[in-house]
Amino acid sequence: MRKQNVLLLGISIFALNFGLGVHMSTWMNFLKQALGLPVVSIGVIEGVREVPGLIAVLLVAVLVVLAHRTAAGVCLIVFSVGMAGYFLVQGVSSLIIVSILWSLGFHVWLPFSNSMILDTAPLGREGAHVGKMRSVGYAAMFTGLLMVFALGKLRKMGILPFAPYRPAYLFAGIVGLGGAVACFAIGKDIGKAPPRRMLWRRKYRLYYLLMFLGGCRKQIFMTLATLVLVKIYDAPVHHIAAMMILYNFANWFGAPLLGRAIDHFGERPVLTFNYAGLILVFSGYAVFQQWWALYVLYCIDNLFNIFNMALVTYLKRIAEPEDIAPSLAMGVTANHLASVIAPIFACLAWKYIDYRIPFTVGVMVAACSLVAAQWVRGKT
């Protein structure tokens, strides 16, 4: 039964991350080429899109009366409808509506899916199991990116008579609905611990802090890194997709290895290496002006994404079973306290000062994370 539940959970994870792969590789080009939006408008839209993450803890508190599989399935349906909705977008208003819709489904899905991943993990091998599930997600992103890359090349060769963005989003929505069906089929015993509806506990404050700082860092880079490549260096969609294919392929195979490293060494050394590397990445983006150097840094930053699984296993190690789902939700909310403001700040700094300023701020945020990570309790 456990293998069947893991398989079904893996299918749902694959479906959602396939959509994320399509979105990641087309988003900035879609905004620039299909809609022609200016930088500040993009920053506002990015900030508004992150609002559902800010209120994730409240939404989880409402859905927690449902079984985890049911809540996660509902979230996947909302995600899929929003993703497919880009097929019909013609202006800013409809763009904001569908962006909020898929973001709502995604951010509320996160704590339920992570809770189910931890609930299906063998005792003492949580890191390896989380790594395998993350590997499934990166395989899905890789598949979505590969599809976008192929469509972009066909478009450039003149074989495809239309831009690939809208059909790709529609297909991503259809795949997501298939993942929702798999979610509903997961066994009732998964996520069975009676959770608390809302939770803020002092003993988890370091987890909340690291999630908050991660939101600052993540959103600055997510908003500006691709935008710099597209607007300043005119990076075409198939270049962006190619880089994403490269690092998602690496993360696909690297996630299980990192999971085993977390089980062996503990979370603190892994997080220390992560934050030290991010300091170098942000410093490079603030200094280098060669397109090839920025391409390399872009890939390296995204390779560090898998290190966030150490925060999930850290919470699993210190939290009571009934605290895990609401604490994960509170972590998502803490992460997005910064994510709502950071894109607007980053794009205003770009317009009125210099695009390098937000990356300099990112260096300081990564340094704060590095210091805070030294308080992560070692494995006993």
For the stretch 6-38, pLDDT in tens is: 999 999 999 999 999 898 878 777 776 656 666
Asked if residue 234 has pLDDT above 60, the reply is yes
Query: Is 164 part of any domain?
Result: yes
- The pLDDT tens digits for 102-155 are 988 998 888 888 888 988 888 778 888 999 999 999 999 889 988 888 887 787
Residue 58 is predicted with a pLDDT of: 64
Token pair 């015993």 in the structure block, residue: 189
Tally the domains of the chain: 1
Residue 50 is predicted with a pLDDT of: 67
Query: Is 232 part of any domain?
Result: yes
Asked if residue 197 has pLDDT above 60, the reply is no
Closest-CA residue to 143 (of 20, 257, 240): 20
Query: Is 16 part of any domain?
Result: yes
- The pLDDT tens digits for 304-315 are 989 989 999 999
Query: Is 380 part of any domain?
Result: no
Query: Is 102 part of any domain?
Result: yes
* CATH code of the domain in which 148 resides: 1.20.1250.20
Torsion 9-12-18-24 (CA) sign: negative
Query: Is 120 part of any domain?
Result: yes
Closest-CA residue to 75 (of 113, 22, 42, 39): 113
**Model pTM score:** 0.79
Asked if residue 271 has pLDDT above 80, the reply is yes
Contact 51, 175 (CB under 8 A): no
User: Buried (b) or exposed (e) across 2-33, using 16+ Cβ within 10 A?
Assistant: eeebbebbbbbbbbbbbbbbbbbbbbbbbbbe
Residue 122 is predicted with a pLDDT of: 82
Query: Is 344 part of any domain?
Result: yes
Q: What angle do CA 127, 130, 131 make, to 5 degrees?
A: 80
Q: What's the mean pLDDT when you consider all of the chain?
A: 84
Query: Is 227 part of any domain?
Result: yes
- The pLDDT tens digits for 164-175 are 778 899 999 999
Residues of the chain with pLDDT > 90: what percent? 35
Asked if residue 45 has pLDDT above 90, the reply is no
Q: Which domain holds residue 262?
A: 2-375
